Structure 1
């Protein structure tokens, strides 16, 4: 007689829990997807969005810091530019290699605690995290590297908990320095992960074993030069982030708490719900079974890792809540979602039986591929849709026409360029790779000093000088600051048609002043194929 009240036994757990060389088939798919993404980005547009233009300007030279961001991404971009040149291809290669490495490190991290086939689910399921799936196809740079560094950190940390070694502590210090030099918000993730691990007896013994001191020595040694630069340039390194955390339009303490708490709640839910709902749909009843933790789990084993991840999430949420109580009234999803990058690992550790459900795995991977294709199509079609709507989309800027307009005016690509913002500066560098581009942002209060210093260098070295701004007109003092003597070249204005956009509906305003080595305006070239555009008046739409 069958006891109908006796609960059914959970499906048997996979025995494939010891790391071994992974199958090359999923890795091949990952490489093919990334190659397709790079090709589509190059074909999508010859123009760039904000972050990528910023990288073209910053990567002209190596430095210990660049404005409000750590320098590692720009160093990497500088190296690739040295091989491929400052092009759309070089920007796409850096970004998508980091995206691929993020998925690979996520697989390696998952492989420390679960079967190979389940570990691949963690890697490919990243597309369901809004901070990865959608944002990786948009204009992002430092956040992409941050995601990669966080995935690498979890891989190294979990491997070290499983089998501590002095070499492992060295690698942990290296990846932590990588994270800090990628984006400053990494510090919160690293601190929360270490605190969570040190709060568990078995993990604490592993982290304090022989050679532990290599982690802080290597990490601090690699980060110190940039830290000294950041202290010396504190205003430029911190002002932008502080403005975003505490917008000036917050009217009261209560409104600030509500706004900050609302952002925290929304972005925390977005970081987890899409992935969890998709996994619940894909695996159905198999998703209901939970793992049974032993009384004294060993370090690096699934039960211990589940406790580690749970405490990590609790520490991160407590720290973010403390920021809200301290006055932070605005969060950006790009800041928060990388902190929850390991949520798929937590869910899969808590539901290890899904590895025994091949049908669910196929549904999971199929849904992930379908979402990636959908997001891919949206990103590819977005510039075309904006063109039909007559919207001033930066991916539709006429890069070739801008370059030809400046050539026709007499600029041959050798000399110093003062651009009014990074978007213009990056586009000019695409068109003239040999030019020295300096960005003096018209929206910053020290922009006139920036213009004076850059122009003085050009005048002293008898270099051609081009002042240029696109999309919005610059105030008159910004133009005059480059010419302290009073006499200056004539301000020229062109309105160029966006790609695929009806010129009668919308045009790109380009303003510039151009002087040769002698300080005089060069002679304009006649060009039958590209006749000079008529002078126009640009309207400030801000």
Structure 2
């Protein structure tokens, strides 16, 4: 059996190698990377529709290692490595090292973790880490030796608050855990009303200032609400469309778990019914409670378009629960084959990451160095303003000594400005800020297999 030390070393080394591997994926920034780079240059209570915790952590990393791709990769893979260590530590309370380690590898069955989290995501990576930390603390509170003290409840509340300001949908997880705890007598007996109240107060204290910023900036904070697909259709149609989209999101998120689980279940048909251990039961009941809360929320809100990544704080537990079931059902030999298969998944994902930078959408292969040289040669003293967070973040990276702004964040402009438009014309972009500008032509910007052009205009 593999020891704790070996599994911990494997997770840590994987995260460290991924930091170096990021540099093989292209010199430019992905969409979420560009957003993080752009906003994390400064501290603020809020930035956009995303909560601020990731940008705060990125600012701190930049303060230590400097602003660049290294700082971006360090934070992301430190968070992913921490997520793996948290899940491993929680499962080790009941499981031997091999089973806990293979359950961590089981996260590779989730495309949002194996591929999207490594390739592009930022806030969702932090949400994954915080969700696993919330569950680990809840497992201590609901199953630990003796009745949990107020300190444990306060820690759970603080973590829940930090989870909410990592990504707003993480706030669903503690609600689902509380509902799950109320559904079973052995967990219900562990609920301390004073502890719950303290946890609520602690969580509220953590989210107070970011929520105050949201209240003061509703237009900016609500900038992504259109993604929910809320429309004026008939109530019955909205309900059916929303629940259908929610079901599709679950299938997309857990599809590989469902397929592999179905194949194993078919092979094992006729065997005795699986009896989940207490941790697996807690994760299963929490997922069920979370699914119910999501369904109620979809119906009441009129949401008709649910993205699979929004399910991450709840659905992420499907993978470790599946692996624990498979290990219990397949026996030692089947468990070793499962571990090999999961290892092959991770190696394949690792090997393909550089390809994602050079094929469609190919954001990391974009030639911002050429655009930066053009700007330096012709408009060396101008501030740069763009309508695209992707362009603004990348130009801020390659032009570190120049003021680079996104148009909606631009302060009062008094000097020369170069306008860079990804959509429409640069002259129209200047007009939105009350400026007149002369056309400066277009500049090609290769992006993977696609060639697009940005439009340029200059205000002296």
TM-score by length of 2: 0.88
CA deviation vs aligned residue, 1:475-531 (integer Å, no higher than 9, x gap): 6432234455x5x4x321243362786xxxx6442333445xxxx3xxxxxxxxxxx
Please report how far the alpha carbon of residue 435 of structure 1 lies from its aligned counterpart in structure 2 after TM superposition: 2.9
**Counterpart residue number, 1:317:** 291
**Counterpart residue number, 1:233:** 217
Unaligned runs of 5+ in 2: none
Distance (Å, rounded) in 1 between the aligned partners of 2:398 and 2:20:
20
**Counterpart residue number, 2:345:** 371
Aligned residue among 98, 112, 117 for 1:131: 112
What is the RMSD of the two structures over their aligned residues, measured on CA atoms? 3.0
**Counterpart residue number, 1:410:** 379
Distance (Å, rounded) in 1 between the aligned partners of 2:327 and 2:424:
59
Distance (Å, rounded) in 2 between the aligned partners of 1:368 and 1:349:
13
Distance (Å, rounded) in 1 between the aligned partners of 2:448 and 2:219:
41
Matched, 1:477 2:428: yes
Aligned with 1:206: secondary structure?
Answer: coil
Matched, 1:433 2:400: yes
Write out aligned runs for 1:107-122 (5 A).
Answer: 107-122=88-103
Matched, 1:56 2:37: yes
Please report how far the alpha carbon of residue 127 of structure 1 lies from its aligned counterpart in structure 2 after TM superposition: 0.7
More helix by share: 2
Distance (Å, rounded) in 1 between the aligned partners of 2:108 and 2:430:
46
- Structure 1 pair 323–29 and aligned structure 2 pair: CA distance change class (3 A): same
Please report how far the alpha carbon of residue 146 of structure 1 lies from its aligned counterpart in structure 2 after TM superposition: 0.6
Matched pairs, number: 455
Distance (Å, rounded) in 1 between the aligned partners of 2:4 and 2:262:
26
Relative contact order (alpha carbons < 8 A, sep ≥ 6): 1 or 2 greater?
Answer: 2
- Structure 1 pair 353–477 and aligned structure 2 pair: CA distance change class (3 A): closer
Unaligned runs of 5+ in 1: 1-15, 294-301, 387-391, 441-446, 521-542
Aligned residue among 10, 23, 27 for 1:29: 10
Aligned with 2:401: secondary structure?
Answer: coil
- Structure 1 pair 397–272 and aligned structure 2 pair: CA distance change class (3 A): closer
Distance (Å, rounded) in 1 between the aligned partners of 2:376 and 2:295:
54
- Structure 1 pair 208–411 and aligned structure 2 pair: CA distance change class (3 A): same
Aligned residue among 512, 525, 530 for 2:456: 512
- Structure 1 pair 252–360 and aligned structure 2 pair: CA distance change class (3 A): same
Distance (Å, rounded) in 2 between the aligned partners of 1:230 and 1:102:
28
Matched, 1:207 2:159: no
Distance (Å, rounded) in 1 between the aligned partners of 2:295 and 2:448:
46
Aligned with 2:420: secondary structure?
Answer: strand
Report if aligned partners of 1:290, 1:350 keep a CA contact under 8 Å in 2: no
Please report how far the alpha carbon of residue 150 of structure 1 lies from its aligned counterpart in structure 2 after TM superposition: 0.4
Aligned residue among 413, 424, 431 for 1:458: 413
Report if aligned partners of 2:245, 2:305 keep a CA contact under 8 Å in 1: yes
Matched, 1:263 2:207: no
- Structure 1 pair 232–499 and aligned structure 2 pair: CA distance change class (3 A): closer
TM-score by length of 1: 0.76
**Counterpart residue number, 2:444:** 496
**Counterpart residue number, 2:229:** 246
Report if aligned partners of 2:426, 2:457 keep a CA contact under 8 Å in 1: no
Aligned with 1:418: secondary structure?
Answer: strand
